[in-house]
Structure 1
């Protein structure tokens, strides 16, 4: 082996050891600017898939109860508005009937 290949192997060994140290100490690998050398290995990170969230039965029951209250509130408002409209129309009919009928004076 010639001296150049020995130095290249030593450099690659040093870079692998620095990467191992960085992983163990959880610090970033110090990189020089420019394109990386071919002898350096690239560390690939594996993406972790997020786990599905699971709702408890108690949580589902609370949400269902709250939704039922919202529906009841909206139904009450609709019924109240309909009742108010009926009362108003009856009152306007009575008022218009009393104005239209002339009173007989004896």
Structure 2
């Protein structure tokens, strides 16, 4: 292969890859390089004070249960 044939083969490959890129962009609805529509970050969930109290109480019960189980069965060595 001479230099001109190599360059022609590269140009054909580049053209083929550009066609594939266009095809993929049209099917996905956004561009491959990430310049498509910006994704909105998820909004932070807001809990009511009552919900926070219920969650805190449940966690304290879990900790108490775990502490009770740990103290009831001494560690074996």
> What TM-score do the two structures reach when normalised by structure 1?
0.31
Higher RCO, Cα 8 Å, sep 6+: 1
Give the TM-score normalised by structure 2: 0.41
